[in-house]
Structures are given as C-alpha cells and as structure tokens.
Amino acid sequence: MVLLLDTARADAFAPWGGSVPTPAMAELCGQGTAYRHAVAPAPWTLASTASIFSGVLPTEHGISGDSFSWTPGGPTSPARTIEQFGGAWLPDALSSRGYATWAASCNSWISPWAGFDRGFDRFAYLHDKARLPSGRGGRWLRAAARAAGVLDRGGRQCLREFHDLMRDLPDEPLFAFVNLMEVHSPYDPPWRFYPFAPWRRRRTRPLTTGTTRHVAFNAGAMTPPDGYVPTIRTLYRAAARYEDWLLGGFIRAIRSTGRPTVVVAVADHGENLGEHGMYNHNSSLHEPLLHVPLVVWGNRVDLAGGWEEEPVALTGLLQWILQVVDGGTAPLGPAGGPIVSEYESTVRHSGIPSEVADRIDTLDPALVPPLFQHPGVAIRRGSLKYQVVEEGGATLFDLASDPGEEHDLLPSRPKLAAGFEDAVQAWRARRTDLPRATGGEVAEDEIADHLRMLGYLE
C-alpha cells in the first residue's frame, strides 16, 4: 500500500523534528525503516506522483505542467501524456503480477480526469464535494460544514472506503493507493484539531485560499499581513496532527485483517511556510518543498528497521516495491548518482493570475523568483545541493552545515559547480526532448470547483 500524504513536508511530523505530536507516524518510524533525507523529484503533485509511479524524472515521463495548457476556463487534462507514457507504471506492473489494484484520491490532479486511473481496477475520487449535493444547496451545506469544522479534505471518507475494502477483501493480493489532502491549503482541520478559538475559523480559513494570494506573495506583488506566518504555521501543524490521526486509522484497519501488508507512507512534496519569503508550493526548489517524510512498514512482513541516514530519491520507490513483491527485503538504498528535482516554472505549473501578470513588468526583479517564469533543476550530491534556473543563475548550499539554504557557496567556491555540470547538461537535453501531449479535456464542473478550492483557480 502507498499512503501519499499530499503536501506534507518532513518536519510536519515529530520523527523529523516536528513540534506537534504525531504518534501514528512515530509508531511507523519506530517499527519500520524511516528515511532521514527523502527527496521529492518535483515540488508539486502531478509531476512528483508520476515520478513515484514511473521511477523516472518529470523530464523523462513528461507528466508535468508541460503536459497541459492553461485556458480561460482552467487547465486541460494531462491524461493523454499518462496514456502515451511507455515506461514502467506502478499500477500496471502490479496488475501484471496478479494484484488487484484500488485507489482513493482527494486530489483532482490525481483523478480519472487527470489520467491517474490508468492501471487501477477501481478508482474512488473522494474530494469534499463528492459527498454533498451539487448546485446552490450543496454550496450552502459545504459552507456550513466547513464553518462548523466537520468537513475535511476527503480523508475521513477515504478511511471509510478503505475499511470497507479491507472487510470485503478477497484472497488475491492487493495494491492500494491513497492520496490524502489534509495538509494542503486551505489549512482548515476539523474542530477537534483546530488550534484556535472556534470563532476564529471564519477569519483563518481564507488566509491560505486563492491563487492570487500566494503567487502574489512569492512574486513580491503583495506583502503578507502582520502575524500571517505564525498563524499559517500553527494551522499547518494542526492539519498535520489530523492527518496523523487518519494515518493511524489506516494502520489499525490493516492490522485488523491480519494480512501480510507492506505500507509506504510518503509525501509527494512539502510546503513553503514563509521560509525565504515563499508560500504554498510554487516558484521554489527549497528544502521545505523537497525534503519529505518517507517510512516503509510491514504488518506480518519482515522488513529491515531503523533509520537510513543517506539521502534517497522517491524515484527509487517503484523498483523497491517491485523487488518486495518479487520476494526481496532489501531497504531502499541511497541513490547511486546525484538526486535530481525539477520544476517547470510557476507559469507552467499553476498559471499566473491576471492581476499579477498585469503588474509583472513593474515588480522589483530582485523580488521575483527566477522559477516564477523559467524552469530549474536542483541536484544533490551528498550534502551539497546545486540549483540552476534557466536565465536565473545558480546557487550552491551545503545542507549539512546550512539546512536553511542561507549561505550560497558559489561566490567563494565556484569550482564546486564543475561536479554538477554533467547533470545540468543532461537535464537540459531532457527538456529539449520532453514528451508532450496536448488537447486534453478542460477542467469543468466539479473538477474546476475542486481546483478552485485548492487554489489553482479564482
């Protein structure tokens, strides 16, 4: 089973230094194999999840912001690129080995509309709107439920569906995939986990909604209000506590069956919470977006335990899962070469709101991140992290001594860049040959509504 904790940075959880208790994750790390430095291949869901499923980078599978277009009505679907991808694909590979395949996702980017039902026998798309009526009545019900703090991002419904699946499970082996969205913006956990007085919810929920807000913050077009950063960090941690509670529910459901089960708990990417003046998960390849939790745990399956300290790439999960299915037990090892993370730019990933686009030429160039308009790559060798942005320069950090990426080493040690040049040139060559498919279905109705709630549409 793969439990994908969408938008969960590593330090959302106590085992990676998080400041709130997350007992379910702590239990998994104590009993399984946990990875101190797991690195996401991309800073957002579509590209990173496709890399987990395919074992290759976004510039190799092409399933990223380069595989769809932004139209006045919303993004087109990337499904054609997924359909045309000819490499290994995790659900396909497990299905060919005799596994039943089941998925539940609370994210429109990971849905049948986006093409992620490929290889799954059953796919449940379970965002919040799917459980309430459409139209004006449904909108009022959702607004009331959110105000009361009883409506989540779909995680509770995923857990119920999973309980039903476990209860009725046949004898054949199963691959289950779940995408949970509880720490994705807007950070608005149910009342039991909400960290402030109940009357504040109406004021705090809008703080992390809408495309304009975060894109404008990151481009220097708007300034966050006083108290914004500590408030959103508190909300984010509270949402992580709720997601950990759900995680515990999945583990209890697995144990109740007594079936041998391997669980991979991992995030696709993290979240900026004011570090480097950045918010949400666009315009950046900083560690808050790339350093993610990863733990593998077995119920009645003998896996190696303890902490792995060397950096690992999420692109290695495909082959690790297949070797476990085929009878292997070796832990996911450190990357043999550099660990690469890629970003196609904010323009391609989430589009630019018109009120920001209209002002782009008037903004201070020093405040606009190069990744706002240009693609970039981050390359890690050991503790060194080298980042290059087309038309935006390069930086180099030693994460061992400078985990906050505050001190660029290139001005004083420019020769170190030579050790990364081969990987940079390989990235540029892949972008030149990038597989592209166009003409997908435009997001409409419930997909557009959900993307709007997630902050992709106004």
Higher pLDDT, 187 or 449: 187
Note the pLDDT of residue 141: 62
- Residue burial 26-49, b: 16+ Cβ < 10 Å; e: rest: bbbbeebbbbebbbbbbbbbbbbb
Please determine, for residue 129, whether its predicted confidence score (pLDDT) is greater than 50.
no
- Residue burial 421-456, b: 16+ Cβ < 10 Å; e: rest: eebbebbeebbeebbebeebebbeebbbbbbbbbbb
Note the pLDDT of residue 131: 45
From 104-113, 133-142, 308-317, the region with the lowest mean pLDDT: 133-142
Residue 292 token pair: 């993610």
User: Averaging pLDDT over each range in 128-132, 362-366, 433-437, which range is the top one?
Assistant: 362-366
Judge whether 153 and 106 are in contact, CB under 8 Å.
yes
Please tell me the distance from the alpha carbon of residue 289 to that of residue 275, in angstroms, as a whole number: 10
| Domains observed in the chain | 2-336+442-454 (3.40.720.10)
Please tell me the distance from the alpha carbon of residue 115 to that of residue 84, in angstroms, as a whole number: 10
Tell me what the mean pLDDT of segment 234-245 comes to: 98
Judge whether 88 and 125 are in contact, CB under 8 Å.
no
Please tell me the distance from the alpha carbon of residue 129 to that of residue 454, in angstroms, as a whole number: 12
Tell me which H or E stretch contains 148: helix 135-148
Helices vs. strands in the chain: H and E counts, helices first: 16, 19
- Residue burial 65-101, b: 16+ Cβ < 10 Å; e: rest: bbbbbbeeebbbbbbbbbeebeeebbbbbbbeeebbb
Write out the E strands in 267-310.
Answer: 272-273, 279-280, 291-292, 294-299, 306-308
Please determine, for residue 223, whether its predicted confidence score (pLDDT) is greater than 80.
yes
- Please report which confidence band the pLDDT of residue 60 belongs to, taking 50, 70 and 90 as the band edges: very high
Residue 208 token pair: 């992390």
Note the pLDDT of residue 458: 66
Tell me what the mean pLDDT of segment 40-69 comes to: 96
- Please report which confidence band the pLDDT of residue 328 belongs to, taking 50, 70 and 90 as the band edges: confident
Q: DSSP letters along 380-423, please?
A: EETTEEEEEETTTEEEEEETTT-TT--S--TTT-GGGGGGGHHH
Task: Identify which of 43, 39, 35 has the alpha carbon closest to the alpha carbon of residue 15.
Answer: 35
Tell me which H or E stretch contains 247: helix 228-257
* Angle subtended at Cα 14 by Cα 8 and Cα 19, rounded to the nearest 5 degrees: 95
Write out the E strands in 76-180.
Answer: 100-105, 122-125, 174-180
Please tell me the distance from the alpha carbon of residue 251 to that of residue 248, in angstroms, as a whole number: 5
| Residue 342, Ramachandran bin (φ over 0: left; ψ between -120 and 50: alpha; else beta) | beta
- Kindly report, residue by residue over 241-259, the tens digit of the pLDDT: 999 999 999 999 999 999 9
Alpha helices in 85-134 (DSSP H): 90-96
Please tell me the distance from the alpha carbon of residue 123 to that of residue 178, in angstroms, as a whole number: 10
Across the beta sheet with 393-398, the strand order is 339-343, 376-381, 384-389, 393-398
Task: Identify which of 15, 33, 176, 204 has the alpha carbon closest to the alpha carbon of residue 99.
Answer: 176
Count Cα atoms within 13 angstroms, Cβ side, for 96. Answer: 9
Tell me what the mean pLDDT of segment 194-219 comes to: 87
Q: Other C-beta atoms within 10 Å of 136: how many?
A: 8
User: Chain-centre distance of CA 139, in angstroms?
Assistant: 27
Q: What is the 3-state secondary structure (H, E, C) of 61-92?
A: HCCCHHHCCEECCEEECCHHHHHHCCCCCHHH
Q: Give the N- to C-terminal CA distance of the chain in Å, as an integer.
A: 35
Please tell me the distance from the alpha carbon of residue 213 to that of residue 266, in angstroms, as a whole number: 28
Note the pLDDT of residue 397: 98
Tell me what the mean pLDDT of segment 318-343 comes to: 89
Please tell me the distance from the alpha carbon of residue 173 to that of residue 258, in angstroms, as a whole number: 13
Please tell me the distance from the alpha carbon of residue 379 to that of residue 405, in angstroms, as a whole number: 14
- Kindly report, residue by residue over 63-108, the tens digit of the pLDDT: 999 999 988 778 999 999 999 999 999 999 999 999 999 999 999 9
Residue 20 token pair: 């709130």
- Kindly report, residue by residue over 390-409, the tens digit of the pLDDT: 988 999 999 999 999 999 99
Tell me what the mean pLDDT of segment 357-372 comes to: 85
User: Chain-centre distance of CA 259, in angstroms?
Assistant: 29
